[in-house]
Amino acid sequence: MSVNRKSSQLLGICGVYCGACSTYRAYNDNDEAILEWETRMGMPPDQVYCKGCGSNLVNEWCGNCKFRKCTKDKEVTYCFECDDFPCQMLIDFSRTRPHRSLGLRNLKKLKSGTDIQELLKQQEKRWACSQCGKKLHWYSEKCPTCGKSFLNATQEAASLSRVSLTTFSITACCQQTGELGIAVSTAIPAMGSINPFAKAHVGAIATQAWSNPYLGIDGLNLLEKGLSPVEVLKQLLKVDVNRERRQISIVDAHGNVAAFTGKEVEPISGHHEGKGYVVAGNLLVNHETIQTMAEAFESASGSPGERLLFTLEAGQAIGGDRRGKVSAALLIVKDEEYPYIDLRVDEHKQPVAELRRIFNVYKVLPYLDDLHPKRTWPRV
């Protein structure tokens, strides 16, 4: 794709909307209040000038931007046009300030096919007071003209899902044993507490990409009320304003399944629905990962835990998460209200292999049955 910078000069190379930059607003509106705010934030007064990233008048800060040099070297106009999008440098940059995270979201919209002029129209409307039309900046708390409260960049970024899990997972039900489980691996730590959710005799749900744990919690409640996975998925997506950023896998105790991958989930992404299982992944190394995991699960033998781990290992072997390996988890429920198996590995160079090692130790414990007392027989 070739984009004319002059026709879109208010869109930064990194995706931020220049029209809401406080420097831009202070200079172009001759706004003394914003200029004072800029000075308090540490911007030298002689640097408060800019006509937008794509213009001929850019201040020193933006003129020396590392993405300006990078896109020039790679002969692209915007970061989303690069084969490495989203690269680690861009991801790290997006995490430093709320408006920068919104900029990355803009680039993902363009990557998915949104017209750049349409995006600019949306941004112009977004960063203006809905009551009087006054143009505001990223961190305005209220309109200085009419006093109406304003949802600024800090608040909007906080309203989005809190954690982005770039992940590959298998969610499944064993019709022979009644066990329900999830095996998952990703490139950030502590995902075992926010991705897999399962309840005995009810179902299992994996929530990933821009993960929202309440999708797992609420989804299990809906399954327990008798809704099918398809009906549950429909209900969850109906009330989720960030649905296009989600990836959800649902399997109930009868082996029925449903899955969803939003349009804004990071590529390479997708899912596969099989008989009693769902494989899903995002930000993968290759397109083969999901199909390979599906084939692995269908050919695997042994206990549900063995089959889930075998599938995860197959996904890791063919590629897995393209950012690397950090954590893995295995969650299985069987008859009780607490997990039958709940194993996690965090901050490890080979998390899937380490999860296998721990599982192999766990499954041969001589007193394993005593670790799972029933409510009617609570052995201490």
Ordered by start, the domain boundaries in the chain are 6-159, 163-371
Domain 163-371: top CATH class: alpha beta
Distance CA 243, CA 286 (A): 24
State the Cα torsion 278-335-194-185 to the nearest 10°. -50
Tokens of 169: 């997972």
Distance CA 117, CA 376 (A): 65
- So what's the pLDDT on residue 3? 46
**Which is more confident, 50 or 36?**
50
- So what's the pLDDT on residue 236? 97
Going by pLDDT thresholds of 50, 70 and 90, the confidence category of residue 161 is: very low
Task: Scan for tokens 């112009």, then name that residue.
Answer: 124
Distance CA 48, CA 17 (A): 17
Tokens of 171: 């969610």
Summarize pLDDT for 91-134 with one digit per residue, the tens: 888 888 888 888 988 998 888 888 999 999 999 998 998 889 98
**Which is more confident, 181 or 14?**
181
Could you tell me which residues come within 8 angstroms of residue 173 by beta carbon, excluding any fewer than 6 positions away?
A: 179, 180, 203, 204, 251, 252, 253, 254, 255, 276, 277
Going by pLDDT thresholds of 50, 70 and 90, the confidence category of residue 44 is: low
**Which is more confident, 177 or 161?**
177
Does 310 score more than 60 pLDDT? Answer: yes
- What is the pLDDT of the chain when averaged over all its residues? 86
* Helix 229-238 and helix 213-224, axial crossing angle in degrees, nearest 10: 130
Buried b (16+ CB within 10 A) or exposed e, 32-66: eebbebbeeeebeeeebebbbbbeeebbeebeebe
- So what's the pLDDT on residue 367? 67
